[in-house]
Amino acid sequence: MANGEQRSERRDHQSQDDQHQRRPLDPLSESGQQNEPPQWSRVLQFLLLAFLIFYVIQLVSQSGSSEITYNEFKDRVTAGDVAEVTIEGHKVTGMMKSAGDSESPTGQQVFRTHIPEVGDTGIVNLLEQNGVPITAKESGPDILSRLLVSFLPWLIIIGLIIFFWQRMQRQMGGQQAGGLFSMGKSKARRFRVDEPRKTFHDIAGADSAKKDLAEIVDYLKNPSFYQRLGAKLPRGLLMVGAPGTGKTLMARAVAGEANVPFFSISGSEFIEMFVGVGASRVRNMFEEARKESPAIIFIDELDAIGRSRGAGVGGGHDEREQTLNQILSEMDGFSAHEAVVVIAATNRPDVLDPALLRPGRFDRKVTLDRPHKRAREMILDIHTRTMPLNDDVDLSAVARRTVGFAGADLENLANEAALFAGRDNSKVVRMRHFDQARDKVLMGAEREQSLSDEEKRVIAFHESGHALTALLFPKADPLEKVTIIPRGRALGLTEQAPDEERLNMTASYARDRIAVMLGGRASERLIFNEVSSGAENDIEQATKLARRMVSRWGMSEVIGPMSVSSSQEEVFLGHEISRERDFSEATAEKIDDEVRKLITSIEQEVNKRLKDNREQLERLANTLLEEETLEASDIDSLLDIKAMHEDMDKKEA
């Protein structure tokens, strides 16, 4: 039942918009040749070849004999033309005494026939009467069957060995020729200059970042001009921003503007199961980029390999650190005439190793902030160009109601609106579809929940308490919507939408924000004379905010302007397991007391104002039980807000 907006962070999907347009080549490949056939096709070819060889062997073994009928065979025995026979089940083979048209090395004609019935002793008696030597053998498989029985298990074993060997080669060595022996080569994807590319015109907003990057673009276009002036190209540029703000897209735009080769790789792609592979791939990638300078190397998610060294539990000497050391040495190894720029992106600059940020490496930082209102409108315009929009769609209003959305969030919002239009079988996307998409992104999808009438009443008064408190405290964010329809993990929600994203929080605003968080609990206590567990998240958020006010922001007269935070850092983020606390137990007790006093005083003020406006609270809750969802305009028409504020001013006076 937490109030306020919810934000979901997503990877930069904008950076992947043009993946279907750009044809990525094989890692560090010039021509983008097709990959080799899959492993199973090679195994199949091998087995087919083996069967063909066995079939040829069988044909050759039978080519020296002639087929005769059973009647002819008995006539030749009676005539005394048969020299010897071999009986094997139904099959009879032998040699004739006549050598007129012999086809055997001994000058005797080889023949074969079949006995119609098993166990026919008549033919045996006939052979004995004519003095024909008889050799009897047990019936068994033919030569092909015997060969298959002998060699098929070995063929299967050899085929499986080839299959798993080639699979291991592809996993370790990528799609390049060489397999296992080429796994040290870089897996960077290279985009050619003549392919469709992104430019700054394809990116809405981020004007300050574009200005910072324009100098890099100009240098890559005219490196000789700057070299004559004695200027050195900045070797590293670090782009910092929240997920979804367009870091990867901006790097591609720089390559597109400069019209130079672009090598793209993620930080996690350097690391493999074998020690030394990451460092080898770094060397190979920089070597290939130098050959095609001027060029750009883009490393996404730099924090995957660039965390502070020596922070690991086992001493820190691992594959990741070797890869980082190689990157540091390669960036130092650039000569003055090598126009290669390394652009890296991360959303965690605080965990990077200091050696990465020193002058000569990633000494230039470009910050990509979340877009402002005008930029959000431009981004929405880009993502809705191919959508049939209805006349009632106002992208400016959508941008105003999406404070804090990153570019990827806005792209997802437009896509969700199109999906809602499809569910309604609508030929155009309407404004209500954008409202539904926004509610789903912020508050989660609606879900069915069986609640009793008493539970619904408690939830209605809880959310009405949040909403009315937001109206009674002037510094609180404007009320946007209140609902008792379960969404996500919450049974009810009160949404507030600030006019613009706040970059600085004053003490009065923070107090009113805590007041809104405590409004639901205060409403329950006022109406039902008890509280429920529905305020768990509200209390948790209020406590966190109050503790920041006291221990970090210096908003307590008792503690004063001191930072006495005792937060712990995780080892996996690149810092120590914990920080030593630099304040006493007495100070810790004072902090706890100040946090408790701050929250208690705000709660008392909320209780007083809700009690003075109980009639308005009950009216709002009863209407919410009937309608389930109320917009800000509905609440304004339902409550006399102006009269409430006048009443409140008179009592305070």
Distance CA(261)–CA(84), nearest Å, equals 82
Identified catalytic residue from 269, 288, 411, 463:
463
According to the model, what pLDDT value does residue 63 have? 55
Burial of 383 (0-12, 13-18, 19+ CB in 10 A): buried
Q: Are residues 300 and 206 in the same domain?
A: yes
Choose among 12, 11, 1, 3: nearest CA to 498. Answer: 3
620 within 8 A of 636, measured Cβ to Cβ: no
Choose from 22-36, 53-67, 294-308 the range with maximum mean pLDDT.
294-308
526 within 8 A of 617, measured Cβ to Cβ: yes
Residue 158 lies in a domain: no
Nearest-Å Rg of the Cα atoms of the chain is 40
488 versus 406: the higher-pLDDT residue is 406
Q: Are residues 329 and 422 in the same domain?
A: no
- Provide the whole-model pTM: 0.65
Expressed as residue numbers, the domain containing 613 is 453-652
Q: Per residue in 154-197, pLDDT tens?
A: 777 877 787 777 776 665 544 444 444 444 455 556 655 555 57
Q: Per residue in 236-255, pLDDT tens?
A: 888 888 888 888 888 888 88
Binding-site sequence positions for ATP: 241-248
Q: Per residue in 404-436, pLDDT tens?
A: 888 889 999 999 999 999 999 999 999 999 988
Q: Are residues 362 and 378 in the same domain?
A: no
Percent pLDDT > 90 in the chain is 19
The least confident of 132-136, 148-152, 354-358, 497-501 is 148-152
Q: Are residues 567 and 643 in the same domain?
A: yes
Q: Are residues 400 and 535 in the same domain?
A: no
Residue 166 lies in a domain: no
Which of 314, 340, 368 finishes a domain?
368
Stretch 82-92: mean pLDDT, rounded?
A: 80
Q: Where residue 581 sits, what CATH number does that domain have?
A: 1.20.58.760
Choose among 243, 277, 357, 308: nearest CA to 572. Answer: 308
Q: CB count, 10 Å around CB of 317? A: 11
236 within 8 A of 363, measured Cβ to Cβ: yes
Residue 91 lies in a domain: yes
Q: Sorting pLDDT into bands at 50, 70 and 90, what band is 461?
A: very high
Which of 328, 348, 368 finishes a domain?
368
Q: Across the strands, what pairs with 341?
A: 296
Strand duo 479-483 + 493-496: pairing: antiparallel
With 50 as the cut, is the pLDDT of residue 29 above it? no
Residue 28 lies in a domain: no
Q: Are residues 284 and 265 in the same domain?
A: yes
According to the model, what pLDDT value does residue 607 have? 93
Distance CA(187)–CA(201), nearest Å, equals 29
Q: Where residue 281 sits, what CATH number does that domain have?
A: 3.40.50.300
CA distances in angstroms from 361 to 251, 302, 332, 338, 354, listed in the order given: 17, 13, 7, 14, 10
Residue 529 lies in a domain: yes
Stretch 449-457: mean pLDDT, rounded?
A: 84
According to the model, what pLDDT value does residue 541 have? 93
The least confident of 222-236, 253-267, 406-420, 577-591 is 577-591
Q: Are residues 468 and 435 in the same domain?
A: no
Percent helix, strand, coil in the chain, to 5, is 50, 10, 40
Q: Are residues 316 and 303 in the same domain?
A: yes
Q: Sorting pLDDT into bands at 50, 70 and 90, what band is 148?
A: low
Distance CA(490)–CA(445), nearest Å, equals 10
Q: Are residues 225 and 364 in the same domain?
A: yes
SS3 564: coil
Report the chain's mean pLDDT, rounded to a whole number. 77
Which of 368, 384, 408 finishes a domain?
368
Q: Are residues 457 and 438 in the same domain?
A: no
Q: Are residues 637 and 554 in the same domain?
A: yes
Q: Per residue in 304-346, pLDDT tens?
A: 887 777 655 444 446 677 788 888 888 776 555 567 888 888 8
Q: CB count, 10 Å around CB of 208? A: 12
Q: Where residue 394 sits, what CATH number does that domain have?
A: 1.10.8.60
Q: Would you call 463 a catalytic residue per the annotation?
A: yes
Annotate 415-443 with DSSP letters as a single string: HHHHHHHHHTT-SSB-HHHHHHHHHHHHH
Percent pLDDT > 70 in the chain is 74
According to the model, what pLDDT value does residue 510 have? 93
Residue 63 lies in a domain: no
- Per the structure, the count of domains in the chain is 4
Q: Are residues 530 and 645 in the same domain?
A: yes
220 within 8 A of 289, measured Cβ to Cβ: no
537 versus 583: the higher-pLDDT residue is 537
